[in-house]
């Protein structure tokens, strides 16, 4: 991520916080616009063409904003990005904003890999334990890896907590070899 994308992401996060926006709704609207922008060659040609005036581009943006019921702050943010000719970096800005919004909300991303599929009760219990480790709320994604034999491996950011049988066996092997 560049310093520029960080600056835009933090600026929008400040606007969202001061306006008490629903960050989930704002993120969804930004994703919807980004998907529309990425999926329409005509829209990209119009919004990124330097020979088309800013007022015409704003009319196109307003038409899209009206169709999807876009929040005024989201529309204004997109207008600024468009005016500063940063639409090509939109996905990077949105990814960084997602990270900043999660940090402000005390939300951590956790990747949980287990040996077997977990039922809802086990997932809820595991997420509660992971939330304690993370010091806040977590958004968990799950994967399955039968080579773990049992237990789970949890990754929160760059920290890995290995509670798998495979990991425990490896630790035991290291202790026996070094003894």
CA distance 43 to 54: 14
Per-residue pLDDT of the chain (179 residues; tens, 9 = 90+): 578 888 999 999 999 889 998 888 999 999 999 999 999 999 999 999 989 898 999 999 999 999 888 999 999 999 999 999 999 999 999 999 888 888 887 788 889 999 889 899 999 998 898 888 888 888 889 999 988 888 889 998 888 988 888 888 888 888 889 87
How far apart (Å, rounded) are the C-alpha atoms in residues 163 and 151? Answer: 6
Report pLDDT for 61: 93
Q: What is the number of domains present in the chain?
A: 2
CA angle 28, 157, 101 (to 5 degrees): 30
d(CA 125, CA 121): 6
* Residue 76 sits in the same domain as residue 145: no
Q: Give residue 172's domain range.
A: 106-178
Residue 93 maps to which CATH number?
1.10.520
- Kindly state whether residues 40 and 95 are assigned to the same domain: yes
> Are 13 and 38 within one domain?
yes
- Alpha-carbon distance values, 105 to 22, 99, 126 (Å): 11, 10, 21
Give the C-alpha separation, 133 to 130, whole Å: 5
Domain end position, chosen among 49, 72, 103: 103
Residue where a domain stops, chosen among 77, 103, 129: 103
Strand partners of residue 159 = 156
My answer on whether 92 and 54 are in the same domain is yes
- pLDDT in the model for residue 143: 93
What is the pLDDT at residue 94? 92
What was the pLDDT predicted at 68?
84
**CB of 5 closer than 8 Å to CB of 96:** yes
DSSP string, 24-39: HHHHHHHHHHHHHHHH
CA distance 151 to 71: 44
Report the relative pairing of strands 137-144 and 152-156 from DSSP bridges.
unpaired
Task: Quote the pLDDT of residue 157.
Answer: 81
Contacts for 67-74: CB closer than 8 Å, 24+ residues apart: 68/29, 68/32, 68/33, 70/29, 70/33, 71/21, 71/25, 71/26, 71/29, 73/12, 73/15, 73/16, 73/19, 73/21, 73/26, 74/26, 74/29, 74/30, 74/33
**pLDDT score of 1:** 57
């Amino acid at each position: 991520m560049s310093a520029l994308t960080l600056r835009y992401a933090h600026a929008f996060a400040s606007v969202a916080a001061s306006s008490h926006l629903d960050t989930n709704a704002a993120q969804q609207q930004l994703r919807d616009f980004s998907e529309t922008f990425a999926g329409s060659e005509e829209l990209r040609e119009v919004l990124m063409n330097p020979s088309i005036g800013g007022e015409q581009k704003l009319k196109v943006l307003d038409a899209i904003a009206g169709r999807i019921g876009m929040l005024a702050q989201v529309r204004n943010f997109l207008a600024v990005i468009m005016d500063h000719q940063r639409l090509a970096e939109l996905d990077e800005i949105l990814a960084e904003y997602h990270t900043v919004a999660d940090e402000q909300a005390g939300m951590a991303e956790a990747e949980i890999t287990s040996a077997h599929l977990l039922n809802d009760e086990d997932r809820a219990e595991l997420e509660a334990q992971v939330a304690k480790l993370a010091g806040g709320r977590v958004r968990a994604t799950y994967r399955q890896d039968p080579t773990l034999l049992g237990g789970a491996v949890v990754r929160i950011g760059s920290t890995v907590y290995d509670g798998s049988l495979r990991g425990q066996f490896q630790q035991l092997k290291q202790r026996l070899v070094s003894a």
